[in-house]
Amino acid sequence: MSSEDMPIAVPTNVMAEGYNGTAMEVMWTPVPQVREIARGKILGYQINWWHYTEQAMDYREFIRHYGQRDSGFVIGLISDNFYYFTIQVYNSAGLGPISEYYFQESLHAPAAGYPEEIRVYSAGKHNGHHAVEVWWRGIHITQPEGNIHGFVIFYWHANEDYRSACRHVIHDHHAHHAHIEVEPGVVYAIRVAAWGEGGYGHKSLTTYFTIEGNNILVDSKLASTVEAFRSTASVLNSPIALVYIATATTVYLYILSVMNWSTL
């Protein structure tokens, strides 16, 4: 049984701002760690929220953020919709009173379309490093989607997980090409997406390329083959190795797994 009592203090100055199309950052003035009002050690804060068409007591959702803090995120919201937010402090005995509510609209949705016709060209050396120029065809947004602020290029070693991807952000919604620095002799996977107030949009289909000498070898049709072998390797708990070999007229991609070799 707790030796503490439930807090009597209330967080004040509650506000909320859109983070992307489905997330909101909620802010408040925290409760001072004073025993007379905290009634014990403050463990954290609970953010409550509900859609404007719902009743707070029937449909309220919440998330708890641990520690003495003045903000937290709410995710999983519906884009371009209004929500109510309240805050409560809590200790080991329970929750304190509910704060005043704050009414805020979530941001528009990110772009549903994705850039197409991804092309990669040699750009020589840039700042002393090998570089390529990535081209793409832009997208059009529809009414529920937020404005596009620019594009982002995701690129990574093709034999590694997508989560290792580097990001090159372009702050120009009219852009249709950009330079990125890469290593020669390495097979890269690349995807492009639009970004804006709603967050990152859908990513383009994966294109693979590598630099051999002064030439860029590109094949966007390799995606399904590489992903199939990566899935097989994952099931077998075995890594895969990608080896690109080029002749004057032919490009070969060898995908080595514990199963076999595949030549395209």
SS3 of 150-204: the string is EEEEEEEECCCCHHHCEEEEECCCCCCEEEEECCCCCCEEEEEEEEECCEECCCC
pLDDT(114) > 80: yes
Average pLDDT over residues 21-27: 95
CATH 2.60.40.10 holds for 12-106 = yes
What is the rounded end-to-end Cα distance, in angstroms, of the chain? Answer: 68
Look at the domain 118-219 and name its fold: Immunoglobulin-like (2.60.40)
Residue 250 phi, psi (nearest 5): -135, 145
User: pLDDT at residue 16 above 70?
Assistant: yes
Please give the share of the chain, as a percent, with pLDDT higher than 70.
79
Q: Which of 104, 178, 184, 112 is nearest to 148 (CA)?
A: 112
206 Cβ contact partners less than 8 Å away, ≥ 6 residues apart:
189, 190, 191, 220, 223, 226, 227
> 10 Å Cβ neighbour count for 151?
30
Does residue 250 contact residue 208 with C-beta atoms inside 8 Å? no
Model pLDDT, residue 250:
38
Note the pLDDT of residue 159: 87
What are the tokens at 61?
A: 């959702």
Please calculate the CA angle 94-30-67 and round it to the nearest 5 degrees. 60
Higher per-residue confidence, 78 vs 60: 78
Q: How far apart are CA 190 and CA 156, in angstroms?
A: 7
Q: How confident is the model at residue 214 (pLDDT cuts 50, 70, 90)?
A: low
Q: What is the pLDDT of residue 255?
A: 40
The pLDDT of 63-79, averaged and rounded, is 95
30-35, long-range: CB within 8 Å, 24+ apart, which pairs? 30/68, 30/69, 30/70, 30/89, 31/7, 31/89, 31/96, 33/68, 34/9
Of residues 147 and 225, the one with the higher pLDDT is 147
d(CA 84, CA 68): 23
| Residue located via tokens 């805050």 | 87
Confidence category of residue 263, pLDDT binned at 50, 70, 90:
very low
pLDDT at 136: 93
Distance CA 227, CA 139 (A): 26
Stated as kind and residue range, the H or E segment containing 105 is strand 102-105
220 pLDDT higher than 80: no
Segment 198-208, tens digit of pLDDT: 888 899 999 99
Predicted TM-score of the model (pTM): 0.65
Domain assignments of the chain as residue spans, ordered by start: 12-106, 118-219, 221-263
**Sequence-distant (≥ 6) Cβ neighbours of residue 51 within 8 angstroms:** 59, 78, 81, 82, 83
Closest by alpha carbon to 41, among 11, 62, 67?
67
What does the buried/exposed string (b/e) look like for 163-181 if buried means 16 or more CB atoms within 10 Å of the residue's CB? eebeebebeebeeeebbbb
Q: Could you tell me the two tokens for 238?
A: 């075995």
Same CATH topology for 12-106 and 118-219: the answer is yes
Mean pLDDT of the chain: 81
What residue has token string 């070898």?
Answer: 217
Contact 241, 159 (CB under 8 A): yes
Q: Is 229 helix (H, G, I), strand (E, B) or coil?
A: helix
